[in-house]
Amino acid sequence: MNLLLIAWRNMQQRGLSSWLTIFSMALGVTLVVIVLAISGVVTESFQRNSSVGYNIIVGAKGSPLQLTLNTVFYLSRPVENVPYAYFLEFQPGKGREAAWKSIGGRMANPERPGKYSRYMAGGFAVPVCLGDYFGPFRVVGTTPDFFNNLRYGEAGDMEYRFADGRNFQEHTPENGYFEAVIGSRAASEMKVRVGDKVSPTHGNPEGEGHGDKFTIVGVLAPTGTPNDRALFINMEGFYLMDKHSLPPGEVEKTEKESGLTYVDSTGTAASLGLPAKLPIHQREVTAILVKPGGESGILAANMQQNINESLQAQAASPIREIATMLTMFVQPIQFALLVLTILVCLVSAIAILVSIYNSMSERRRDIAVMRALGARRDVVLAIILAESVLIALSGGLIGWVMGHGIAAIASPWVEDQTGIQVSFFTINIWEWTLIPGIVLLAIGAGLIPAFSAYRTDVSRNLSA
């Protein structure tokens, strides 16, 4: 205790120098805490978004990572599309026939089950159409099953809830096919609510606006997923907008490649008093979100292999692609930032070394007096090391408080952006290494001035 008291008195004698050194260490530790907090938020966000409620994303041939980025995170440009008829290959025979009839088509062989329907008992397939924007936010054309069937959350068991309104429907007397649901953040930033009408733009945020307007019937409760930043519209309305149908030349190509002949009828839509739906042979989907039946992943693996062996589409595992992205891109950046902050702490440790070492010339007489009064060399060495550790720990404690204080202040913004709650006492597991790390840095920084004090010549400095 006496050694710590003497070390504290030494710090007080060099008040300004000691506090500047403490502050430099505090800044370093603050940066470490903030980087660790950001790392934890990013990792948790990726882990949460990997539980998307489905096992496979089916889309056009290309990069599976791009398909995942585009479909899960609404990043990157959409890959090529696949024919709508390919989506029906995940339906049983009756399901395929019903889908064709609802659109106004007839099948030559309605009893034939879909090619992949044997994997789907108890599962589901949800189509997704991308390409439009609402301000800076992506527009997702889909069906009500998107919110009825999909789940989110780290465990993948949380249902989508509506902060206001309801899910859109296939068709309604009031809005026909033009209903929409908007994510919480998109609604907040675009300042829209239930009952407002919105018009997407084609291709990019500054693209040509569609004349069709969708009525917002629901606002999602915050989920902490990319779906907070999207506008979801009825897929039937999506198809009826300009530039969303295949031109005649592409229709002929699709018929030739699929071997199917499409025969159209508008009786079903007309009987409901609705506009004619876009014919099936003019439809495409950007992706299909598939969850095979059963609890085992064997069905998903077999389906994915079969799809990838075909020439028409590819199947990507979102969990695998997100894990790959986390390993290949995110974690190296996090590691680089952490290394930089550790270097800042090393610079602070050097500042401790310089501060104490420069004061040694002023303290040689004091050290000589202590030695003359009976203090051993090892006691003098311990006092200098204790001073170094006190400076470092003081800076570390202040830095820890500053780092967590900044995290607490930023908590509302972080929760709004990611859905992840961060409080003052949200501690990353790696923070437990800060204390021993700081002590080791302090001992390393104090060794040179401590040995300088250890070798102090008593007789020379007393007579000086």
430-456 pLDDT per residue, tens? 778 777 888 787 777 776 666 666 565
Indicate the Cα dihedral angle 101, 104, 106, 110, nearest 10°.
-20
Helices (H) and strands (E) counted in the chain, each on its own, are 16, 17
Please provide the size of the chain in residues. Answer: 464
325-358 pLDDT per residue, tens? 777 777 787 788 778 877 877 877 777 777 766 6
- The pLDDT assigned to 285 comes to 93
What percent of the chain has a predicted confidence (pLDDT) above 90?
16
Q: Is the pLDDT of residue 1 over 50?
A: no
Indicate the Cα dihedral angle 66, 67, 72, 75, nearest 10°.
40
211-238 pLDDT per residue, tens? 678 999 999 998 888 899 899 999 999 9
Question: Average pLDDT for residues 179-190, to the nearest whole number?
Answer: 92
Question: Average pLDDT for residues 80-90, to the nearest whole number?
Answer: 87
2-61 pLDDT per residue, tens? 666 666 666 666 667 778 777 888 888 888 888 888 777 777 777 666 677 888 999 999
280-299 pLDDT per residue, tens? 778 889 999 998 877 656 77
96-130 pLDDT per residue, tens? 666 666 665 555 566 677 788 888 888 889 999 99
Question: Average pLDDT for residues 161-179, to the nearest whole number?
Answer: 87
- The pLDDT assigned to 265 comes to 44
d(CA 103, CA 275): 11
Task: Output the CA–CA distances (angstroms, integers) from residue 65 to 138, 302, 307, in the order listed.
Answer: 18, 20, 16
Q: Is the pLDDT of residue 463 over 60?
A: no
What percent of the chain has a predicted confidence (pLDDT) above 70?
70
Percentage helix, strand, coil for the chain under 3-state DSSP, each rounded to 5: 55, 15, 30
Question: Average pLDDT for residues 53-71, to the nearest whole number?
Answer: 89
SS3 (DSSP) at 57: strand
pLDDT category of residue 267 using cuts at 50, 70 and 90? very low
d(CA 47, CA 323): 8
Which pTM value belongs to this model? 0.74
Domain-by-domain residue ranges, the chain?
2-46+325-463, 56-316
Which carries the bigger pLDDT value, residue 398 or residue 388? 398
Residue at token pair 């997702």: 140
